[in-house]
Structure 1
Amino acid sequence: MNQRLTYIILLSLSFVAMVVGVHRSIVEEDVIGNYWLFMVGFILYMLYRYRKKKDSV
């Protein structure tokens, strides 16, 4: 798979997970219950940064 496409997919999924987490937290008024969505988004973002840094060296 193209590396640039992989970066775009990881960053997009990270953004979507964060937006869904914020939306569900507002609608359900429960941030702790949606904590896992924020962590999934954060992990995807960290994976994006790790792969991008690893490939640029």
Structure 2
Amino acid sequence: MPENYLTICYTLHEAYRKTILEVEHKNFKSEKMYFALLDFWDFLLSKLKNYVEQK
């Protein structure tokens, strides 16, 4: 994989009768990018959680 790619890996697994989503990031180009993505994931995952719980 080219070294200028950001890798994001999603893993779903079951634990204690719940579904666990793990998100792993690799190859950040800067600290600024890292913190920007943290804000993004907070927003996105809260929206995803709300959506899934309504179904």
Q: Whose helix fraction is larger, Structure 1's or Structure 2's?
A: 1
User: The TM-score by the shorter chain falls in which range?
Assistant: 0.3 to 0.5
TM-score (structure 2 length as normaliser):
0.42
* Greater percentage in strand: 2
Bigger relative CO (Cα 8 Å, ≥ 6 apart): 1
